[in-house]
């Protein structure tokens, strides 16, 4: 063993090899030196742990090749484009909405140059970044005023801070939602400095419950869209009109967190009703909050729309500055909102809406095209099966969207192993596992991605 240890090369001698010199060119001396040190330490450990009869020899060539491969992997960005074959259209882990070409162009040009982000061109004075989208949001929702922030979670927190701090916020136990990433409504209310007054029960909250809790301390009646679950069966909750009237009587404000929210009615596309922002405001809600990158189909953003006096208060609160939107999201959001304005047809231009409204025959023919691109393999069976896709990201819960999937099975690989291999492909491909099969759902997959998927499956190692 001692002998073997003595024959391990010095760091310096490996650094002088030709391959090391090439690696230093690409990754820098420091990273290459660290990688060599690590590999030598591991080799030393292996020698000491090896059985005495083990005759494995240290190979400088193999070690340097392994180091090259490690450095290659480590230098690859962990943030890369992926293929969403999960069947969940708005998938938070996969970046939610694909953007429309118009939004991508807008982001690209604003990113590349200086812009009029906070410039009033008329006066030459400082302007407001909110001005670029406020009128559009108002036009599309009927709101008097609007402000856009970093995301919907930030939007709710800002509303609560600006309108509810040190006072009571009344909310139903049936609407104490937790959205992903441990954002829980009761905690957010407490964080804002408001006092949470919980009323009602999980399944039933009556107007009387609200009326009984209102006092001169009440600032907000808060409604939250139970976006990622549905309380069904023996349920009851007052209408927005009733809550609005109660709020008015007591000088309180009715705020509704819509989460996703939509700007157009999606019923014509067979999608059950997600609250339309305009209808919610028409029903008497004073302020609504909703996401830019859920069913709206734009970049990450949180939109706050409603009564002007309240929006003005929100705009001037320090929290609004802390969660302000960046210029790239703002430009992408503006371009996306424009696609909702006539004569544009949002369902034809905005990828999220295209994907949701695509006829099943078209999804099926995409699945068939994928099969056509695949090599026949003895060891992997691929079968076309009907599937159920979902909108995802807490929108349209319980809404099944008919879809088609490629079901992959293999005698040699478990579904988990197949899933992992495709997840680690050059372009990661994400499917879902059902009953020991890996399903690649075609609804959210683009036609242009089919070849990449087929190539990755064809390249899976045999056995």
Ligand X SMILES: *Cc1c(COP(=O)(O)O)cnc(C)c1O
* Interface contacts to ligand X, rule CB under 6 A: 151-153, 177, 179, 224-225, 227, 257, 259-260, 291, 302, 394
CB of 439 to ligand X, least distance (A): 25
CB of 152 to ligand X, least distance (A): 3
Nearest residue (CB) to ligand X, 227 versus 336: 227
Nearest residue (CB) to ligand X, 155 versus 429: 155
CB of 258 to ligand X, least distance (A): 7
Alpha-carbon torsion angle 2, 3, 5, 10, nearest 10: 140
Alpha-carbon torsion angle 192, 195, 201, 205, nearest 10: -90
Nearest residue (CB) to ligand X, 257 versus 441: 257
Rounded to whole angstroms, the Cα distance separating 303 from 151 reads 7
Q: Closest-CB residue for ligand X? A: 259
Nearest residue (CB) to ligand X, 64 versus 296: 296
Residue 222: beta bridge partners? 171, 255
Provide CB contacts within 8 A for 442, sequence distance 6+. 85, 363, 364, 366, 367, 370, 387, 403, 404, 405, 406
Cα-based distances in Å from 162 to 93, 187, 401, 434: 31, 16, 39, 46
Helix (H) or strand (E) holding 291: strand 287-291
Length of the chain: 463
CB of 220 to ligand X, least distance (A): 15
The helix-helix angle for 131-141 and 327-338 (nearest 10°) equals 30
CB of 368 to ligand X, least distance (A): 35
Helix (H) or strand (E) holding 149: strand 145-149
CB of 280 to ligand X, least distance (A): 13
Q: Please identify which residue in the block is written with the tokens 């905005």.
A: 350
Number of C-alpha atoms within 13 angstroms, CB side, residue 187? 8
Nearest residue (CB) to ligand X, 306 versus 431: 306
Nearest residue (CB) to ligand X, 164 versus 259: 259
CB of 122 to ligand X, least distance (A): 33
Provide CB contacts within 8 A for 426, sequence distance 6+. 456
Nearest residue (CB) to ligand X, 293 versus 449: 293
């Amino acid at each position: 063993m001692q002998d073997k240890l003595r024959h391990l090369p010095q760091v310096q001698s490996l650094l002088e090899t030709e391959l090391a010199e090439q690696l230093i060119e690409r990754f820098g001396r420091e990273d290459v030196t660290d990688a060599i040190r690590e590999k030598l330490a591991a080799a030393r450990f292996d020698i000491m742990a090896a059985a005495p009869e083990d005759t494995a020899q240290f190979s400088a060539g193999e070690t340097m090749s392994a180091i090259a491969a490690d450095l290659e992997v480590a230098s690859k960005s962990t943030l890369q484009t992926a293929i969403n074959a999960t069947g969940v259209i708005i998938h938070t882990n996969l970046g939610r909405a694909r953007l429309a070409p118009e939004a991508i162009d807008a982001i690209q040009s604003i990113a590349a140059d200086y812009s009029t982000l906070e410039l009033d061109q008329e006066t030459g004075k400082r302007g407001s970044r909110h001005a670029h989208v406020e009128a559009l949001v108002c036009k599309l929702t009927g709101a008097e005023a609007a402000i856009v922030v970093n995301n919907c979670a930030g939007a709710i927190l800002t509303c609560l801070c600006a309108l509810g701090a040190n006072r009571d916020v009344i909310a139903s136990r049936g609407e104490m939602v937790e959205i992903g990433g441990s954002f829980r409504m009761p905690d957010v209310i407490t964080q804002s400095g408001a006092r949470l007054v919980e009323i009602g029960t999980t399944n039933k909250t009556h107007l009387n419950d609200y009326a009984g809790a209102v006092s001169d301390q009440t600032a907000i009646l808060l409604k939250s869209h139970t976006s990622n679950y549905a309380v069904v069966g023996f349920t009851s909750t007052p209408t927005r009109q009733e809550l609005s009237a109660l709020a008015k009587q007591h000088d309180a404000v009715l705020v509704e967190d819509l989460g996703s929210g939509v700007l157009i009615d999606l019923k014509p596309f067979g999608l059950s009703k997600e609250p339309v922002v305009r209808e919610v405001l028409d029903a008497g809600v004073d302020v609504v909050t909703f996401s830019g990158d859920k069913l709206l189909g734009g970049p990450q953003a949180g939109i706050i729309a409603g009564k002007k006096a309240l929006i003005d208060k929100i705009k001037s609160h320090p929290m609004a500055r802390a969660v302000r939107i960046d210029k790239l999201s703002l430009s992408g959001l503006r371009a996306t909102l424009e696609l909702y304005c006539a004569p544009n047809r949002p369902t034809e231009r905005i990828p999220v809406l295209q994907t949701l409204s695509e006829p099943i025959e078209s999804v099926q023919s995409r699945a068939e095209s994928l099969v056509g691109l695949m090599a026949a393999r003895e060891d992997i069976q691929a079968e076309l099966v009907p599937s159920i896709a979902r909108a995802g990201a807490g929108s349209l819960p319980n809404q099944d969207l008919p879809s088609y999937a490629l079901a992959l099975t293999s005698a040699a690989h478990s579904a988990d192993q197949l899933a992992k291999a495709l997840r680690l492909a050059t372009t990661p491909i994400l499917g879902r596992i059902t009953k020991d099969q890996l399903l690649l759902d075609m609804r959210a997959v683009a036609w242009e991605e089919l070849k990449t998927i087929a190539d990755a499956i064809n390249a899976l190692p045999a056995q």
